[in-house]
Amino acid sequence: MPHPPLKAVTLTHVRYRKGDRLGLFLAWVSLVPVFISLGGFISHFIFRRELQGMFFALGLLISQFINEVIKKSVQQARPETCALLEMCDSHGWPSSHSQYMFFFTVYFTLLSYKKIVLLTGKYRWIASFISWVLAVLTMYSRVYLGYHTVAQVFAGATLGIILGAVWFWVVNSVLLCYFPIIEESAFGRWFYVKDTSHIQNVLEFEYEQARAARKSMGYKCD
């Protein structure tokens, strides 16, 4: 009895030509969305529990849902290299990797402009610049590795930019007034969810609060 065909989990399944060092580098770059999602946002929820970060992550999920709906509606094929990559059974327009990275970059840049990030001063803009570089490299990697055409990655990038900007406006112009309600809700109190976007320098604020709490306890080494 013949075995049924196998299918890879494409979340971290990235192929490149053996011996191609640039391809190896770009294969790791194309995994940046996975690192951001699993390493960044999950760690953020565990250690920070900021509403800004949660709605940031929610926006990325909505963006990816829209991407899947468009892909299934348009049903544009991937380039011919999809046969070697075992990706011919999925659609290519628009590129979800490009859409994810440009949504993330635009939203993060707007957070930096509004000073709603932990970083301060020039470090905000250095981090924003790095995110733009990673977004462009991710877009390039999907074409170089053969997963998408140029048109597909540019479509994803354009959609990501638009959705990132729109979602930032929705969160910070429409939903922001509900943040105190969420903080005081049963969910907010149970998970210690908070909003510190009104604090100019969160790191300095938390540092001073931690020092003051330690002094009030009169902690000393024996």
Higher pLDDT, 40 or 186: 186
Higher pLDDT, 73 or 7: 73
The maximal CA–CA distance of the chain, rounded, in angstroms, is: 75
| pLDDT above 90 as % of the chain | 44
Q: How many CB atoms lie within 10 A of CB 55?
A: 21
Between CA 70 and CA 160 the distance in angstroms is 13
| pLDDT above 70 as % of the chain | 89
Q: Please, what is the Cα angle at 99 between 65 and 97, to 5 degrees?
A: 95
Structure tokens that stand for 77 in this block: 């094929």
Shortest CA distance to 139 belongs to which of 128, 149, 129, 127?
A: 149
Between CA 194 and CA 186 the distance in angstroms is 12
The model's pLDDT over 49-102, given as tens digits with 9 standing for 90+, comes to 899 999 999 999 999 999 999 999 988 888 877 777 666 667 889 999 999 999
The model's pLDDT over 119-142, given as tens digits with 9 standing for 90+, comes to 777 888 898 899 999 999 999 999
**Look-up: residue for tokens 């406006």?**
169
The model's pLDDT over 100-120, given as tens digits with 9 standing for 90+, comes to 999 999 999 998 888 777 777
